[in-house]
Amino acid sequence: MIIAIGGLHGTGKSTCAKALAKKFNLKYVSAGEMFRKIAYEKGVSIEELSRLSEVDKSIDLAIDEEVKKTAEEGDVVLEGQLTPWFIKNKALKIYVAASKKERILRISKRDCLTLEEAEKETLNREASERKRYKEYYGINIEDLSIYDLIIDTGLFSKDETIKILEKIVKFAKSYFKGDN
């Protein structure tokens, strides 16, 4: 079974993806973690790496190729904004949403930033990503029509959100039985 989880930054993609991978004994792969690792290795901020990625396609392409390769192996939860578009196999595609206010608050806490810093960095990064994804792949990440399910994590607690998703995945497993 392949589960692809997309959504903007701070919506709870990683939290949901890790929980589902653990519950269903699936591999977990995060495009965002790959991006953060590259930023760390280059000694730049995530926002700076986003700007660099606007002129150097190789950063995004390397991450995207790794995601595609992992999807082909099956039995995985893939987390990242573009992962649903790259999966050629049958997959459960989930979009995780939250209000801008909630997302900025979560990012501020997670990254130890002021609310103002978190908002500026996040909105700049998302603008860069929208531009790159449209230019590199012709993908409009605001088009949610490719998703099977959209869940607003701001409406539920973390545990409630995960329980809802677990029930949906259990139900959907029969549809994906025998498929990678």
How far apart CA 116 and CA 107 sit, in angstroms, is: 11
* CATH code linked to domain 2-172: 3.40.50.300
pLDDT in tens, the chain (180 residues): 999 999 999 999 999 999 999 999 999 988 878 778 888 888 988 778 878 888 888 887 888 788 788 878 889 999 988 889 888 778 999 999 999 999 999 999 999 999 999 999 999 989 988 998 999 889 999 999 999 999 999 999 999 999 999 999 999 987 776 554
The reported pTM is: 0.86
How far apart CA 30 and CA 172 sit, in angstroms, is: 22
Q: Which structure tokens are listed for 82?
A: 């573009």
Residues 6+ apart with CB under 8 A from 88: 71, 72
Alpha-helical runs (H) found in the chain:
13-23, 31-42, 46-55, 58-73, 83-86, 100-111, 115-137, 158-176
